[in-house]
Amino acid sequence: MNPPVAGIGARTLDDRALRLFIVLSAFFCVNAVLAEFIGVKIFALEDTLGIAPLQWNLFGQSGSLSFTAGTLLWPVVFLMTDVINEFFGRRGVRTISWLAAMLIVYGFVFAFAAISLAPAGWWVKAAESQGVADYQAAFAAVFGQGLWTIAGSLVAFMLGQLIDVAVFHRIRNATGEKHIWLRATGSTAVSQLVDSFVVLYIAFVLGPQKWPTSLFLAVSTVNYAYKMLAAFAMIPLIYLVRAAIVRYLGEARAHQLREEAAA
């Protein structure tokens, strides 16, 4: 029996495709916004895994594998992008991408507003026993990311999303329904190549830190390599999510959405 489809005698929210789009959009947006906010923390991958530092050496630069905490969530955003691309096409991805960008800006506006509020005197020292001498300074440092970083991240995010959807559908037009992994990974490979370099260029080369070209190329390359490893690791999950969606929608409805998405 086919799942209910919105129409005469049916409520709009009875349409499983609509409910699916709402869930995917919400999950996409919350992951994108969270990735921006937790991205202020830099973690050492080798120390986290309990292994010796790898000490990469690129473009005359060397270092350990350090990433922003946001990298934990960006692979999920890539997955959501590919799934929405598969079932809701270019329009679906563009809609949620612009929505996520607006929500990120909205979040940062209120983060800066919260920083500007005069702190209660007792609150400033409230976490002194935990090693935080000035709670207001810590709050401002964590949530008050520089405007160059915010601008670079937003520009790179939107460029990456628009490139991703274009490459995804170009590969889909060439392969048809086959090779889901190829269009998902191929679109990520191109979009994140742009994203990884643009965000760091705007934030740290054009921005006040004025990174030298060698450092910019080295860090961007390491970040891109990580994203591609994550993209390949997500391939089995893409098939699992796709299968779950087909079961939820029913074969006929899922096929209809894929046909509309490819048009």
Any domain includes 135: no
- Weakest-pLDDT range from 17-31, 48-62, 94-108: 48-62
Any domain includes 152: yes
Domain that holds residue 89: 12-116+147-262
CA–CA–CA angle 39, 190, 38 (5° rounding): 5
Confidence grade of residue 173 (pLDDT, cut at 50, 70, 90) = confident
Integer Rg of the chain from CA: 21
Q: Residues 56-70: pLDDT tens digits?
A: 888 888 888 888 888
Q: Which two structure tokens, joined as six digits, stand for 212? A: 């030298």
Any domain includes 95: yes
Any domain includes 122: no
pLDDT of residue 146: 79
Return the higher-pLDDT residue of 101 and 39: 101
Any domain includes 233: yes
The DSSP letter of residue 42 is E
pTM above 0.75, yes or no: yes
Any domain includes 2: no
Domain count, the chain: 1
Any domain includes 180: yes
Any domain includes 160: yes
pLDDT of residue 209: 82
Between helix 16-38 and helix 147-175 the angle, nearest 10°, is 140
**C-alpha–C-alpha distance, residues 116 and 109, integer Å:** 11
Question: pLDDT at residue 4 above 60?
Answer: no
> Domain with 68 in it: what CATH number?
1.10.1760
